[in-house]
Structure 1
């Protein structure tokens, strides 16, 4: 059943199904139709997110198990609500000895019933990069031992990693020489530093604790999805959100199979087909295929679109110039992306790249048509294509490819040209032919090579762009988030209208998000930072002396790190935080330091997760401590709080605008937990902090929050007239008046019901008017349909009218 509106909750041992059950009346009163749950299957003990699934066949006992989930589903049903669950088909958690499938593979090797479940290269032993030092040194220092656990001898490394032994070794394990014993196993213990080069099984991105699954195998598909099909058949869930669909061998085939299996289950009366959305990162201009059998994406694309709409394009150049001047780095994003892709490919993905190259070399050698293509040529072609690939991946199968892939391959060919060695363009052309399903050679080898390329291009995009370059490029941090393109600074009204008309035509049931568990900055942090695009001169005036103060505090802090810190302090400044509130500033400092550590290590310029420069990090943390100490930085804090206050009305206007659009444009609006009030969170784990539901219940009852009140108001309309929101057309409405360029208006109609919506964009000048004109958002604005500000528009920057 298609949801009317969802509410995302993050489950873990400290927020269980019982905790969610207690909030069902509040969600029902708010107007939510479906709880949208993070993964509910059994994850590694203590998991804070649930994506490290160790058993997809049962519901996580830490969350309340199946009984707890049934009680939650029953409570929701009693309030006329349903459940959408997040599923993880791409990978499983394999650390800690809790995954019985992986455990069996380690014990029995290729003879295991689960050997085909994981994407393992069986030409050699399974590489386990869990050691801190070479094996012999670990043994000599006592870091590896045989211990009997639950009556079974096991290898235990550092008292943490529990590894099974071959059955034939268990009887003599206690007396065997350790090195000899280890050598007889189906796995090879290695230093963690070897993983990037030597790992012979597909992992999730660069995480050695997550092993890739072969969901394309029907047996694997059924084993990992049976629980969800049963829950759907029993009426306990209404659909799923598919995590990281681009990691799969054949996303299109997977999605079609998922739809076929759900459709084969007789739904309960009135429920309709299962709701299926996918986590899919779409590049600028990249369409989502309409023949996969899904209802759309989980909303990152809308988050990028609505955030870009808030930005003033006039701020792009002055802010880029300021960034380049301050940081000494590129004013544009392209060079940062290229460098990050080159670095990640040559370092964190070397092993995966080598196996991709080997697959194409084997393919080339299967046909005389490719005589003369050396392994070096093929490696250079693949490397350079991955440096510039314009999307996460293409969707070829080795013998065919969708029509939409052709434009992607053409763009890649154009972009790669400047990076090619003389005369080697023909090698790139051959690779692209194979991606198109048109190259010569053995069909089985072609399928394997194309699969390896496509399962490499996606993590390169994620790790190099979103998890590296986004932390290096700081023109304006509100344009650096999951699914965003920092090079695309702003979105015009006409472009936004065109995108929404496309949604109405092709994706009326896709999810609309403005905050997620993956976001790097909460929706209201981005809304506040977007205001700076309208006042770049003011920002330069304020930030210049702040940077000088940072340099005076510690001249060793890199200016780009300092500049991103100052943007973050401004964007995430808590509501009502006063510049002399020492305890409040201390709590804010703890949050900022958590963000700062992650930002420094993800950027990989002066520190990293693999080799943290703790001395530099400590100096950066100390800087935060000084800046947020009212005893040592009183003037700075007053100045920062003053800028937050000066821009607050514009920030709040942006927050209301993106909220109104999320609940009125075509699609299913999702509300990330707690974001019904100002979401000033930073990257995880900050964006997964506990939510104060008591406060939200009280404010909903009293009408004391503009944002929460707007959400409730629009959800009530969606409940009263679901057809116009679910199926209504989208038609732009013309606007006249002296503020016409700032107003976006549209109309949606269905079944005799009409919804008209108008919003004011980029209204910082109005909001910051010292004369107090901020209540007059609309001036002499008139809609082409006849409405005038004086007649209908209210003293907020959003207006809507539902005519029934």
Structure 2
């Protein structure tokens, strides 16, 4: 381990957040708007603001993940001035700023100068290596061209409609298709000039200076080095000369009206006449000479030859593993980090990176280098040496740990979390130089303890009865991953297969493996992968035990379906990925095979995400609260022991990992899941209501393709969604109409994602219309239907139990090991559904006023406030009260939550399974956390919230042995609670702990203090 004084704890330790608040920035919520809310966040108890991407995306972007320029702060968010307004406001309140970084892909189009340069110059572009483009794809007609699937119809149809037009402006020719502007290759400008030459020579004398300049330009164009030249000097000459040519032509056409008029006439010939198909010959010839090939957008799934973000044509993958790409995408970012404006990063989609561990190490290396350089006042010339030493320190730290990692949180120079989706039982790789995940692992763990696992089989029966079929979630996933590989991402699979077939063809041992056989094997293996991706390093020849087990598991599962795939091909594929066959290839091919293995690993994550999150999660609707990013819907609930084990593991390995209940990517808000989870406790009643509603609403269905629509599965999804998202409290006409529109939009998205009756690629207008009509019939303006008469009382009962679930899961999020993250607006009840529903405007004026009122009243009568908020639970203020109380306590006791021990507590008594309790402890500070779960039966029996001894009877929390005189103060009510029993075995009665409020956070005190108020 590098022990240089340069690498002291100050230089190598990040600023760790205590609690974050996520803002989604867009044109209607800018840096300035966020800055104005910093005092509110500080008052709430937030330590760090956490924002969506800040670098310039496409102009029409509403989310910021389609970045077009990493060197510019988004102008419509306020640009540099707006950013520093936010940064300075945060700094004034002692708060940090965590920024969402997108290193895997860029938005492409006219706003992306790098991409436009590639389209103009092809493989000769200085930016060609920046994008992951296959310049020699299996379709040879696409050699040295990029397929651009942007046309609304087939190429021939579009061009003969005259929809593609050639234009000229300021020395440059370009093509226009609808709103899309495309450059043309410099040498092909010569085609246009050559066609204009006879006309110009007929109108100007041979010695005319304008004609002479025109001919000179034409000659110069002809001498431009061809696209694809690999001589660096030739490429430099090409880049220089093409710009000179544009300048000369601009000057000529400005000064000489005849030349401009002739060019306009020539453009008219190129742009043809829709009544004369043969008139487009010139334009077709020009298009054939470009570095891109225009195509019908539906062609993309089979022939596209640039790696995309999932299957989105408008997002092209970049190769951030290359030095130049990392530098050009991170320079401004690290300038802002060095300036202290940015204190942490969220890394988007790390599984799309070439080698995630190497990328995270590079982030920390650069952060450490910049910090040391700033502290030491080092010149730029000295940075390379510091960077090399910093890289060695980061490598040692990642692979060997610190001298004492058990005593303190992970020490890295920069706070970094990754949007990593962990499969059930999967751990975050220990060699990743970061602080943890963005919290989906916690989200699903805490959600699971509110699902009653005893009733899983009952729900299987209900679901199969409703849908008329039995299908395991694993079967749905397998089928949908196959569908994605055969349709949406067929081109990526074809490219993988072709590249591997080229390698096996040159190796006698494997040359009998056919392209078809390899393609099938690749599909089968990916379809059976139990995780998003592996992280095998073929360059260093490292394979973890976990990766080996996952690949062997996938292979064994695929081999059981050998009617599809040759066993020998699957075994070869497994052994190749595990590096067992590497030395059997020729030395010249081993590097290519290593590159192929890395590319294979990049592809499995998007296929898993598209097949599971974006398809299966909308199709398998047994209990939709389980269908969450990173979730495993096949697992019906989770034990408290498993929840505690995960918290203890996080405390030990990733104590600063994020904890969240909702993000911009979740399928539904935490409060929606909290309500739907209640159904797991009451399967008989749920089935009675569903059965009744199906009968009541059957007449609202419309026949589509001979069957009633929507189908039973979509109808079952709708009922759960209505129960979860129904507005709380009184709902006026406008709110109800908005709610109905939101449900319609959600159901349209859900059914298209499910890809059963309709889809985004091939929408079924009749099915979409029937779905809209069905929702409208269920939710009429007057709300006087037999369905609603039965639905609303049941929903209100579910909502009340869901409120208790929500308080408990909020309590656990704010106190478990990790950093709680609050998604925008969720400090009150949040019944949002999937994006874009979760990006609706937030009423911050209301939240600011409510927070001030709550805090002012709580200063003198905290117990009274808690009881009042509980009585008016539907308005959500009690959630805000819990959040600000516990965040304020976190801020006052940072060590307790950064390093404090996590100890599960035993519950005894008749309601012991209905409570989750644990302590956090550091030094003399102890916090005891108690939250109920699975309380639907308790609340139904007593027709009220689960409070007092009548509800909890003799149920007790068993405490660790304590010193005599220790008692507890409830942070939420200020009640003082004294343990019962002897000091070596004290207990607390649940009826006492939860007598005024449904949850409790109890601070251990050693003196007989009076409660406030």
Q: Same fold (TM over 0.5)?
A: yes
Of 769, 776, 779, which residue of structure 2 is paired with 1:625?
776
Mapping 1:323-722, distance limit 5 Å: 323-399=463-539, 400-403=541-544, 404-421=546-563, 424-440=566-582, 441=585, 442-554=589-701, 555-578=708-731, 581-631=732-782, 633-703=784-854, 705-722=877-894
3-state DSSP class of the match of 1:236?
A: coil
Mapping 1:724-739, distance limit 5 Å: 724-739=896-911
Partners of 1:751 and 1:59 lie apart in 2 by: 44
3-state DSSP class of the match of 1:774?
A: coil
CA deviations over 1:645-666 (Å, ceiling 9, x no partner):
1122210011001100111110
Partner of 1:100: 113
Partners of 1:627 and 1:253 lie apart in 2 by: 53
Shift, 1:577, TM fit: 4.3
Partner of 2:336: 231
Summarize the Cα distance change of 1:540–1:31 in structure 2 as closer, same or farther, 3 Å threshold: same
Shift, 1:437, TM fit: 2.2
Shift, 1:611, TM fit: 1.2
Summarize the Cα distance change of 1:522–1:70 in structure 2 as closer, same or farther, 3 Å threshold: same
1:138 paired to 2:184: no
Partner of 1:220: 325
3-state DSSP class of the match of 2:993?
A: coil
2:808·2:999 contact (CA, 8 Å) conserved in 1? yes
2:947·2:994 contact (CA, 8 Å) conserved in 1? no
Shift, 1:35, TM fit: 0.4
Partners of 1:76 and 1:337 lie apart in 2 by: 44
Summarize the Cα distance change of 1:724–1:308 in structure 2 as closer, same or farther, 3 Å threshold: same
Indicate the larger mover: 501-510 or 555-564. Answer: 555-564
3-state DSSP class of the match of 1:303?
A: helix
Of 293, 304, 307, which residue of structure 2 is paired with 1:202?
307
Q: TM-score, normalised by structure 1?
A: 0.97
Partner of 2:210: none
Shift, 1:773, TM fit: 6.3
Mapping 1:232-251, distance limit 5 Å: 232-251=337-356
Partner of 2:245: none
Partners of 1:632 and 1:236 lie apart in 2 by: 51
Shift, 1:219, TM fit: 1.1
Summarize the Cα distance change of 1:718–1:534 in structure 2 as closer, same or farther, 3 Å threshold: same
Partners of 1:74 and 1:448 lie apart in 2 by: 45
Shift, 1:584, TM fit: 2.9
3-state DSSP class of the match of 2:449?
A: helix
Q: Which runs of 5+ in 1 are unaligned?
A: none
Shift, 1:371, TM fit: 4.3
Mapping 1:33-112, distance limit 5 Å: 33-95=47-109, 97-112=110-125
3-state DSSP class of the match of 2:709?
A: coil
Summarize the Cα distance change of 1:630–1:157 in structure 2 as closer, same or farther, 3 Å threshold: closer
Shift, 1:797, TM fit: 3.1
Question: Which structure has the larger Rg?
Answer: 2
1:337·1:465 contact (CA, 8 Å) conserved in 2? yes
Shift, 1:351, TM fit: 0.8
Summarize the Cα distance change of 1:272–1:471 in structure 2 as closer, same or farther, 3 Å threshold: closer
Shift, 1:744, TM fit: 1.5
Shift, 1:633, TM fit: 4.7
Summarize the Cα distance change of 1:110–1:725 in structure 2 as closer, same or farther, 3 Å threshold: same
CA deviations over 1:119-142 (Å, ceiling 9, x no partner):
001122100001122222211111
Of 5, 10, 13, which residue of structure 1 is paired with 2:27?
13
Partners of 1:773 and 1:227 lie apart in 2 by: 53
Partners of 2:952 and 2:359 lie apart in 1 by: 49
Paired positions, count: 799
Of 771, 788, 803, which residue of structure 1 is paired with 2:989?
788
Shift, 1:630, TM fit: 4.8
Q: Which runs of 5+ in 2 are unaligned?
A: 1-14, 137-142, 194-266, 271-281, 376-410, 702-707, 855-868, 870-876, 960-986, 1006-1013
Summarize the Cα distance change of 1:796–1:380 in structure 2 as closer, same or farther, 3 Å threshold: same
Partners of 1:14 and 1:750 lie apart in 2 by: 44
CA deviations over 1:79-117 (Å, ceiling 9, x no partner):
11110000000000003x110000000001111110000
Q: TM-score, normalised by structure 2?
A: 0.77
Q: Give me the CA root mean square deviation.
A: 1.8
Summarize the Cα distance change of 1:771–1:340 in structure 2 as closer, same or farther, 3 Å threshold: closer
3-state DSSP class of the match of 1:485?
A: coil
Shift, 1:151, TM fit: 6.0
Summarize the Cα distance change of 1:780–1:632 in structure 2 as closer, same or farther, 3 Å threshold: closer
Mapping 1:17-28, distance limit 5 Å: 17-28=31-42
3-state DSSP class of the match of 2:85?
A: helix
1:779 paired to 2:942: no
Task: Give 1 or 2: higher helix fraction.
Answer: 2
3-state DSSP class of the match of 1:106?
A: helix
2:559·2:570 contact (CA, 8 Å) conserved in 1? no
Partner of 2:18: 4
CA deviations over 1:5-35 (Å, ceiling 9, x no partner):
0000000001001111111110000000000
CA deviations over 1:596-640 (Å, ceiling 9, x no partner):
111111111111111111121111101111111154752222222
Partner of 2:924: 752
Shift, 1:422, TM fit: 8.2
Summarize the Cα distance change of 1:524–1:151 in structure 2 as closer, same or farther, 3 Å threshold: farther
Partners of 2:822 and 2:34 lie apart in 1 by: 15
CA deviations over 1:279-335 (Å, ceiling 9, x no partner):
011100011011111101111111111111111102221122111111124353122
2:90·2:96 contact (CA, 8 Å) conserved in 1? yes
Partner of 1:309: 449
Partners of 2:954 and 2:1001 lie apart in 1 by: 17
Partner of 2:132: 119
1:585·1:629 contact (CA, 8 Å) conserved in 2? no
